[in-house]
Chain A
């Protein structure tokens, strides 16, 4: 007994040692970057580090009336000093996200204060330089931009914000986009999963119950797009679907459409759905195929000989047995589609964008990295939950590549 236990321990240790290098590698090069992103979604120290004295003074301030002369003086001097180091611009950009117009207010005031240091009241000098300093909102914005740990980005990612008193309010109508985009992403992903299932089920059946040689050949047809570069497939869809593309040309040549009636098949939601179904279909066919292969065809025959119609046999006998494949394929396709980026970005145009494109927009264009990180965090939570369900229901070790 003692000997077997020891041997078992040694085997476990050996196995753990083999797994460890990759586990550590994944932890460092994958988990750590995701953790960095999640930290960024709540931790933003840049403004606090740039304006320590102003924020210390504002911490004492009641927020109900204008700050006192001393606060004005500290703030004004700090703005000037920062601007001399050319570091005020990035602070101003951050404050401007909370209160539009603060960018020019901060930079303009710093410039005029540097040109002429106020001899008497800083408060009057600053309000004279820019009337915005007479508004409480400007100071509230600076104080809020100085929060090091903030739930702001998660609130913004859910179309919420905090009001002056710190209460949670819904964003004004012209700034609300993320919730509806998230819902749209979910709806589109469900639609894509449904279409894939509808197209894949009969094909997987054919593959599973064909003679081996023929099945092998048909499987190759499924695998060709699976192996082909995603960018190549996207290019193909552009070539096929665009206004002057192959499909529209064909329809016009055949006289089905007039020259003016060419269909808008790409750079919209239609394009996104068509191209994504094409990309994700193999991920549905392959799990279905591997489950269906194990369902003996004679079950269907037995049901038929007992008097069941084809559809009854299909529904009552075959479908239940194929459910594990349906679950595996659907979950996989759904997980892959809610985070999809490349295809919508290239063929989605204005209306065919999913939530991922907003993450890319804030990463690359607006540089609102906190918001990008918060949107990423929400998406990650969603995918993580689904992946957990997949693991429980299907098991990650059942994942196969190409049959």
Chain B
């Protein structure tokens, strides 16, 4: 085989590889984005009308957005989602950060087993978790309450915090603790004044993850939430199951914007984390 042929070969391979990757990335991203233009459809259809493709002004409209804002269903749902999400994220972040700091200490006995326990809510099938919780909280008389939902979402969100803070801590220099101790700082002061500020990006990332996990959670809400706890995912769920209306696309567009915002925030935090670690 001549060198030129082999070179051609590898260029072809390179193009094929890149083409394949482009197709996969397209498969990942395009479905997320397709709902955005469709949410401006003037007709109650889920596909592009001819008018839309010809870019006629009256084929596009904001009517579904008006419906979403006008109908008394989505705004209260947003409030409920925010309440549950922030409550859950607060608990998950507090407990998760402390746990991650503890787990980062090589002195902790049975570290692997504890870690597996703390991560387990993330990998347990949500249907099992939800079934167990619905028995548990109704036995306790806490069914259909915000308390139950916040606790449930907190335990589902905590693994994200443990992992994210743990990642931040893996770049943390434990000599700093010793240095602080040598300077006379007690354990609590060291935690507060040395460790926490340095891992703050990881903590915030974890909090965002925990909030996002709650903000998108529907199965536990279906199983232990009552008529008071109709969150956005719950409304989306019944919308998708029962009468998918273009309103859902408008809500979806809003949620995509929200996801992009979260992604940007996490990205920014990660860059700060690297900056802090180096």
Contacts and interface: CB of A to CB of B under 8 A. Distances in A.
Contacts of A203: 21, 24-25
B259 A227 contact: yes
A191 to B, nearest CB: 17
Nearest to A376: B128
Interface in B228-256: 233, 236-237, 240-241, 244, 248-249, 252, 255-256
B193 interface: no
A379 B128 contact: yes
Given A23-B99, A359-B128, A202 B107 contact: no
Interface string A1-30: 000000010011011111111110111011
A227 B212 contact: yes
Interface string A383-403: 100011001000111011110
Nearest to B139: A36
Contacts of A31: 117
Nearest to B36: A236
B3 interface: no
Interface residues of A, number: 94
B102 A18 contact: yes
Given A224-B259, A238-B244, A369-B135, A245 B28 contact: no
Nearest to B96: A22
Contacts of B200: none
Interface in B9-34: 9-10, 13, 17-18, 20-21, 24-25, 27-29, 31-32, 34
Contacts of B75: none
B275 to A, nearest CB: 15
B35 interface: yes
Interface string A115-144: 000000000000000000000000000000
B47 A396 contact: no
Q: How large is the interface on B (under 10, 10 to 19, 20 to 34, 35 or more residues)?
A: 35 or more
Interface stretch (B55-63, B65-73, B163-171): B163-171
A89 interface: no
Interface stretch (A52-60, A68-76, A172-180, A338-346): A338-346
Given A29-B155, A235-B236, A11 B35 contact: no
Interface string A338-377: 1111100110000000001001100110000100110010
Given A29-B155, A387-B123, A372 B118 contact: no
B268 interface: no
B106 to A, nearest CB: 9
A338 B127 CA distance: 11
B187 A22 contact: no
A168 B103 CA distance: 48
A127 B191 CA distance: 77
A249 B260 CA distance: 29
Interface stretch (A78-86, A99-107, A157-165, A215-223): A215-223
Interface of B: 9-10, 13, 17-18, 20-21, 24-25, 27-29, 31-32, 34-35, 38, 45-48, 91, 95-96, 98-99, 101-103, 105, 107-109, 112, 114-121, 123-129, 131-137, 139, 151-152, 154-155, 158, 160, 162-164, 166-167, 187, 205, 209, 212, 215-216, 218-219, 222-223, 233, 236-237, 240-241, 244, 248-249, 252, 255-256, 259-260, 262-263, 266-267
Interface of A: 8, 11-12, 14-23, 25-27, 29-37, 40, 199-200, 202-203, 205-206, 218, 220-225, 227-240, 242, 244-246, 249, 278, 281-282, 310, 332, 335-336, 338-342, 345-346, 356, 359-360, 363-364, 369, 372-373, 376, 379-380, 383, 387-388, 391, 395-397, 399-402
24 contacts: A12-B105, A15-B107, A15-B108, A18-B102, A23-B118, A37-B128, A206-B17, A225-B31, A232-B35, A232-B259, A234-B240, A236-B35, A238-B244, A245-B46, A332-B123, A339-B128, A341-B219, A342-B126, A363-B223, A373-B135, A376-B132, A395-B112, A397-B166, A400-B163
